[in-house]
Each structure stands twice: as structure tokens, then as C-alpha cells.
Structure 1
Amino acid sequence: MTHISGRRPKLVLFPTRSVPAAPGATEDDFHIYASYRGSSASGYYGTLKVVRKTDGRLLFPFDGVDTIGPFPTKAAAIEAAQRRGDEVVRADLVRPEL
């Protein structure tokens, strides 16, 4: 019998257990989240997050990274962010950040 409670599951953002570094073997071992921020007045900037799925390591952004943009359209900003994400993944496949 399953017990159903009114409580929601606990969301753990920073797990207490350590996951050993594990390099990715293929491009499928990475999540690329490309989007944009900004407006037509200030220009559109690409936003990017790249996570290696094998160990959960955040590869991008990192301290000191340059901005992606500005661009005249949302689509251009997202495309540039996606290209940068692809570059990060390819670089990590060649020389993993451990």
C-alpha cells in the first residue's frame, strides 16, 4: 500500500555527497541550456549554462567569462549562445575539466 502525504518532495540543490569527476565520452553526456536576456533597446545577450551529465559539473559559466553579445535579435543571441555551448562541449571532450 502506498502512503500519500500532503508534503512535497525535498528539492536538494547542493547534495551533501561528493560525486567523483567523470569526463563525458560523447556530446550526449552534456546539457546545453542556451537562452537570451535583454531588450531591443539595450540589445540581446546570449545566456548559457553547460553541465556535464556524468558528474553534474557546471562547465559554463565560470568566473571571468565574457558576455555573449549584444545582438540585434533574440534568435541571434540564442544562436551565439548555442555555438559557444557546442565549443565548450567539444573542448571538454578533448581535454576534460576534472
Structure 2
Amino acid sequence: MRSQSNRPKLLLFPTKAYVPPSPGLTPDDFAIYASHRRGAAAEYYGTLKVVRKTDGRLLYPFEGAPTIGPFSSRARATEAAEQLGVTIVMGDIARPEI
């Protein structure tokens, strides 16, 4: 005898509507989120997230991405993350990862 429940099924990995891959043509087609986090012993690490807005693809961080830092100041860690973000955007404009 099966137990029936009115509760909805739990979806662990809900899928969004399929968006076909499309390259970004200008830097405005990307979102760069750069910040920092504090590590042990008064050191700072940059944090970065780069998203292609045209299709929502996350370009950074990726599995195995290197850490950004350590740096002695928050400003330097954030600046290094921003510079890496711009490098990733320019690289994706030149050779899109589809």
C-alpha cells in the first residue's frame, strides 16, 4: 500500500529554460563582480565572478580556478580580481567559449 502525500516533489536540481549559447560582443555584455575576503594572518584574497549576460553563462570561477592572492591590503586584492575579470572578458570577446 502506497502512502499518498499532497506535498510537492522535492527538486534538487531545478532546470531553467534552455538559452542557446551566444557570444558577448562588447564588454557591456558581461558582468564582473570583484571583491575580497580575509584569510588567516591578515592577508586578503580577491574574489571574482564573471557572467556573460547574453546567455547567463558563468565564465569564472570554474573548477580548478586559481586563488587570487594573497595580498597585504583589501584594495590590492579587489584590484587584482577586477584586472583578472577584464582579462577574462577580453579573452572571451576575442575567442568566445560556446
Shorter-normalised TM-score: what interval? 0.7 to 0.9
Tell me the SS of whatever aligns to 1:47: strand
Match of 1:11?
A: none
- Correspondence 1:76 to 2:69: no
Counterpart Cα distance in 1 of 2:16 and 2:30: 22
8 Å CA contact 1:40–1:72 kept in 2: the answer is no
Shift of 1:97: 0.8
Counterpart Cα distance in 2 of 1:74 and 1:55: 32
Counterpart Cα distance in 2 of 1:53 and 1:16: 15
The within-5 A match list for 1:1-98 is: 15-39=15-39, 41-98=41-98
Counterpart Cα distance in 1 of 2:48 and 2:93: 18
Shift of 1:58: 0.2
TM-score calculated relative to the size of structure 2? 0.82
Shift of 1:16: 2.3
Counterpart Cα distance in 1 of 2:16 and 2:94: 30
* Identity over aligned pairs, percent: 58
8 Å CA contact 2:42–2:72 kept in 1: the answer is no
Aligned-residue CA RMSD in angstroms? 1.7
Whose Rg is larger? 2
Counterpart Cα distance in 1 of 2:39 and 2:73: 9
Long gaps (5+) in structure 2: 1-13
Match of 2:8?
A: none
Shift of 1:41: 2.2
Q: Structure 1 pair 97/39, CA: closer, same or farther in 2 (3 Å)?
A: same
TM-score calculated relative to the size of structure 1? 0.82
